[in-house]
Amino acid sequence: MEIKSVIMAAGKGTRMKSQTPKVLHEIFGKPLLGYILDNVKNITSENFVIVGHCAEQVKNFVEGNYANAQTILQSPQLGTGHAVSMACPMLKDFKGLVLILNGDIPLITEETLKKFIEFHKGENSDLTIMSAIFDNPSGLGRIIRETDNTLKCIVEEKDTTPEQKAIKEINVGIYCLDWAKVQPAFSQLSNNNAQGEYYLTDIIEWGKKHGLKVNAYIMENNEESFGINSRLHLAEATKIMQKRINEKHMINGVTIVDPATTYISADTEIGQDTVIYPATYIEGRNIIGKNCKIGPCAHLRGGVEIADNVKIGNFVEVKKSKINSNTNAGHLSYIGDSEVGAHVNIGAGTITANYNPLTKEKSKTVLKDNVKVGSNTVLVAPVTVEEGANIGALSVITKNVPEWALALTRSPMRVIVDWVKNQMKQ
């Protein structure tokens, strides 16, 4: 059965206190909304992102990075039920399932979403919500079930009886709908409430009233339900994701010397027997091979491909570069927009000057196999150093260097005998 999604990303996120829309705040270089879109891309055929606040920014991110996603403007913003109704014209004749998610829950996983959908199908549900169990559900809406364990309703805490308040199951805010059966609800929702908004939760009452089978699926790991509403939440989610990602890599054969100070993006692949040393930060999408040594205090900024047996040492930054096997960049260097061959040695303090501030263009540096670069060298791109060439320390390389040549740009050394003593006499 075909599945599509509606992702709500129209809110301002007032508590973030930011000019950036909440869903574009990042964890490891990826916006919160990106985590949602990545987790549904193998499940859904098409995704509709409801935008409102800073709509153009969110639209540019979505449509610039996801071929199977498009944005729909919600203006004015009249509640969660109204947000989903914005997608109804696009889904007018759709007969499959629709997933509804919030754009600020980056910890939800593809595996959990698949289990949720399988539960929906297995129970022959028409409408299923995702729930979670919390020891302390204070402030959250409670899940009320029928005697047959199907969903009866959601009661907000302020409206609960003492018996209902003791319930620990809460609404996560993720829905799976048999769209053909539930779509009519969105034209029949009422805004007869204090806020004058159309609430998505009201489709549960609508479904019960119209004889639909309504269920609640309890997620296995309640931390996946964590929503981001503030900078404090963002930091907390980052720590949860850091632990989750590091544990995955260690289980798969990667040594992480100090997981507490190591940050690795969800989109980074790492081969077995690679060692990640403390205070290393890896963001964006990267591939790191086997038997590599990364760090300490290294920074990979995305778009990096590192082959086997490579060393990226302390205070080395790499961005949008490909580095082939058995190459070392041990100390205090920047490698950006570069292609580095095998068996290359990059001396301490080497800089690839890849950015032209006047034209705003970035150019490429190419170091072929067996190149040796001396310390404190600047390679001014675009430039190519051919196979086997050596660069003398303290050089500024502005032209291509032929294979097996030595390139130098520093002045000859001068020694002035007794200069210091003479200065002291004055």
User: Is residue 403 within 8 Å of 368, Cβ to Cβ?
Assistant: yes
> For 224, phi and psi rounded to 5 degrees?
-70, -15
Query: Under DSSP, is residue 312 helix (H, G, I), strand (E, B) or coil?
Result: strand
Q: Which member of 120, 210, 233, 331 is catalytic? A: 331
Q: Has 331 been annotated as catalytic? A: yes
Cα R_g (the chain), whole angstroms: 28
User: Is residue 283 within 8 Å of 317, Cβ to Cβ?
Assistant: no
User: Is residue 372 within 8 Å of 386, Cβ to Cβ?
Assistant: no
* ω into 382 cis (within 30 of 0): yes
CB atoms within 10 A of CB 209: 10
Distance CA 84, CA 43 (A): 19
Could you give the angle at the alpha carbon of 105 between the alpha carbons of 102 and 106, nearest 5°? 130
Distance CA 186, CA 6 (A): 13
- Return the DSSP state at 398: -
Write the CB contacts of 325 (distance below 8 Å, at least 6 apart in sequence). Answer: 289, 307, 308, 309, 310, 342, 343
Return the half-sphere exposure (C-beta side, CA atoms, 13 A cut-off) of residue 229.
3
Distance CA 315, CA 298 (A): 5
Question: Which residues are marked as active site?
Answer: 331
